[in-house]
Chains A and B, each alone.
Chain A
């Protein structure tokens, strides 16, 4: 599939800030399922900082903006050719050992309920079937409900109310997989929504589980599937914060508000 992304994030500050530092993971991953045709990221009034590929294979680009400034626009535009690999992250170069992704973070801690749910799925050993069972369990127990949670909601909290968005579902899957001894990580990216509206959230997130015979495999509880050619993978981390496509800190007292415009469209071949 040929997908074109048009993504603008607008940061507004109630008072001008003295400066902004950002760290971006906004470039499509390089693996057999994705080929980037063109890609450009710009930051209004931004000065490009250092660039490097990190141990997880993500391209990180730093930016700074010198103040005083009260509005910053981060624009992403580009086209990616995608192939359906049934969720398998084939041909992705990375060096971080899978064991590192067994570590829990505050939002992905398995409480008693998550632990019970994970133990009940009998997933220890980490086969493909076990991974699917865990993903299905998440989808069954945390109903996709926009607006039901906040960005700081933990996996345990989402399970307790039985509702959440893709972030919560991914966090819950990470908690349950790690509980079963399966390395798991949070993936951020884009999703091309189909015409009939069955898929949602163009700025999307899912989980990858490390399975012995397959390596990293994506699971998207929100859509009850493995990522295919409608997905564009950007980067990964231990949780949503760690994998955030844009991390930033502003120097100054102004309160920050954010506005996102995003379209992921299929091109005519």
Chain B
């Protein structure tokens, strides 16, 4: 029987960071709780935040369940996460600058050439192009889980366009509105500085040809996209324009947006569309979402694209296993946050081990996301495991496996009252002239009893995440 680390209780006592919440929880009558839960849901519906987290698809109008019980970190605990996440974000960017430059890490034999250069996410069009400040991934979402008081593991990195930050902001907003007293009684670090930090980060990577105050836009695929709400929300909070491909055009050396007062030059594009669709002249010719000629402007220094095309080569699940190596190679430091031990099914020895131990392992597709196409061994029947084994044997290079981690739990409101449920965490690290991390992130919670899958498509919800002031 696996024991799970409960973030609130240890040996029957309440752990420090959760001290205040113990009273709060005990003093809340069931009726009040139900009323508040209904109020929270109504608020979420009203602001229209109903999209699926992390582009998981599914019903775009479905509300992600919000759990009112906050997840709390002490200043000390956060200090380590802060250093660890920033370290990772720096190393990932150094890796991108290297593989699109001289490729020292490959030459040094620290990562296999094919894993990088034959990766679907590697863009040869970006080779030799040094973006402003040498930054490729400006918003790095690092997915973390906790297994003990001091044990954190990184599950994966998201270097392209990690979503979900609007939940971090809205969860806090709604908690503050519903429980103002909690925020008076606890000294909680604010997260509402995020939009301003994001705007400053984007402004700091304005291209060399920009003169004056950089004009920033968010480029969205459109309102049918599941994260459209987040795109418009961030544009609003940053005070920048939200545009679609058809609102932008290239003329001469620059990109312009159409406005009622005529064309206006754009210096920084925070794009929330995939590489393939950015520019039909350079990538997919059939794309209607992008801006023809954008890549030539980018590559000649006329505009910044955040994240840089090709940034995805740093975050696939096979490259992930080399991030600790990147930290040592580029920063000369030891990783502060651990990777989960990972078996690569592409390696015959690893594959053999995985097939023999499927019952104990979690198996994921290398390019998969959203909790689809994955096997959680301990939760599967013999028949399911056998079926999955055939898929691995057919395409071993498509799969990696990890041990089933004993994800920590935090108290969560459930029908029967309060019960421990498993959680993960995604902080959002900003990389520009400086590396910044807002104290907080998005906590996802597996609402089904015993479930270790926190994805919203698989019955997950979200929580406000507190970092207590030191």
Contacts and interface: CB of A to CB of B under 8 A. Distances in A.
B281 A249 contact: yes
29 contacts: A21-B250, A23-B281, A23-B293, A49-B253, A49-B296, A49-B297, A50-B296, A50-B300, A50-B302, A52-B129, A52-B296, A52-B300, A54-B128, A54-B299, A55-B125, A55-B126, A55-B128, A56-B124, A62-B253, A62-B296, A62-B297, A64-B252, A95-B127, A97-B103, A99-B117, A100-B124, A102-B118, A249-B281, A251-B249
B301 interface: yes
Contacts of A95: 101-102, 127-128
A245 B398 CA distance: 36
Contact of B292 (A66, A100, A249): A249
A170 to B, nearest CB: 18
Interface string B282-320: 100100000011001101111000000000000000000
A51 interface: yes
B interface residue count range (under 10 / 10 to 19 / 20 to 34 / 35 or more) = 20 to 34
Main DSSP-derived SS at the A contact region: strand
Contact of B252 (A48, A248, A249): A48
A21 B252 contact: no
Interface in B222-253: 249-253
A interface residue count range (under 10 / 10 to 19 / 20 to 34 / 35 or more) = 20 to 34
A53 interface: yes
A103 interface: yes
A99 B118 contact: yes
A60 interface: yes
Interface in A34-65: 47-56, 60, 62, 64
B292 A54 contact: no
Main DSSP-derived SS at the B contact region: loop
Given A22-B293, A95-B102, 9 more contacts: A21-B250, A55-B125, A60-B299, A97-B113, A99-B117, A100-B124, A100-B127, A102-B118, A103-B118
A60 B295 CA distance: 11
A144 to B, nearest CB: 27
B252 A47 contact: yes
A127 interface: no
B114 interface: yes
Interface in A70-116: 95-97, 99-100, 102-103
Given A49-B253, A66-B251, A249-B292, A241 B285 contact: yes
